[in-house]
């Protein structure tokens, strides 16, 4: 099936009916973007608007700040208490054993918090990648450009700049076709 040619100045029309769930929502609210983020958990087809992308970018930054504050709130007081205690007075074997137990306790707290943060970040990895691919689709770029994220240092900057590109009507080519009956 060949796509009909749009005339100059005419909006692009997809040659086949597409799933409306694949279309981006322009000017979506924070709650709407968050809902779509999890509804389209691993959906790499379709498109995502700039507002959807930026709300989720903000969500990830806020989540990182909250997790960082929790980490600091738990670790700093415990570290200060450990430093002020007499646990490092290792004149006796019992004091040395107490210091070792205190340090291991502090490391245990850190390990638990770190594991929780890693689990949360891994749970959000797939939908974040799917959102980036959909955003690239909306600007009529291949989702394979998301592989640039693997380039150390500059990869994230390149993908961010590509995600900032304006939407293009020809991005509809990345929408999924409805099943033909």
Q: What is the number of domains present in the chain?
A: 1
Residue 157 domain flag: yes
156: pLDDT strictly greater than 80: yes
Residue 25 domain flag: no
Q: What is the pLDDT of residues 25-45, one digit of tens each?
A: 888 889 988 988 998 888 898
Residue 30 domain flag: no
Estimate the share of the chain in helix, then strand, then coil, as percent rounded to the nearest 5. 65, 0, 35
Q: What is the pLDDT of residues 67-103, one digit of tens each?
A: 889 888 888 887 787 777 666 666 666 766 777 777 7
* Banded pLDDT at 171 (limits 50, 70, 90): confident
Residue 11 domain flag: no
Residue 36 domain flag: no
Residue 89 domain flag: yes
pLDDT score for 154: 95
* Contact predicate 18/178, CB 8 Å: yes
Residue 6 domain flag: no
* Banded pLDDT at 181 (limits 50, 70, 90): very low
* Contact predicate 134/47, CB 8 Å: yes
| Arithmetic mean of pLDDT over the chain | 81
* Banded pLDDT at 1 (limits 50, 70, 90): very low
17: pLDDT strictly greater than 60: no
- Phi first, then psi, for residue 37 (nearest 5°) are -55, -45
Q: What is the pLDDT of residues 45-68, one digit of tens each?
A: 888 889 999 999 999 999 999 988
Q: What domain range is 62 assigned to?
A: 41-174
Residue 88 domain flag: yes
């Amino acid at each position: 099936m060949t796509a009909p040619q749009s005339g100059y100045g005419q909006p692009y029309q997809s040659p086949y009916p597409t799933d409306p769930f694949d279309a981006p929502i322009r000017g979506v609210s924070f709650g709407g973007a968050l809902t779509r983020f999890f509804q389209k958990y691993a959906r790499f087809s379709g498109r995502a608007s700039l507002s959807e992308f930026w709300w989720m970018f903000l969500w990830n930054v806020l989540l990182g700040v909250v997790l960082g504050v929790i980490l600091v709130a738990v670790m700093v007081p415990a570290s200060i208490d450990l430093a002020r205690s007499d646990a490092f007075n290792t004149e006796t074997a019992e004091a040395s054993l107490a210091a070792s137990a205190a340090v291991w306790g502090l490391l245990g707290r850190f390990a638990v918090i770190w594991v929780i943060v890693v689990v949360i970040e891994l749970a959000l990895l797939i939908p974040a990648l799917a959102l980036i691919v959909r955003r690239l689709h909306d600007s009529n770029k291949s989702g394979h450009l998301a592989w640039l994220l693997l380039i150390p240092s500059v990869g994230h900057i390149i993908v961010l700049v590509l995600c900032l590109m304006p939407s293009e009507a020809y991005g509809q080519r990345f929408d999924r076709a409805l099943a033909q009956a």
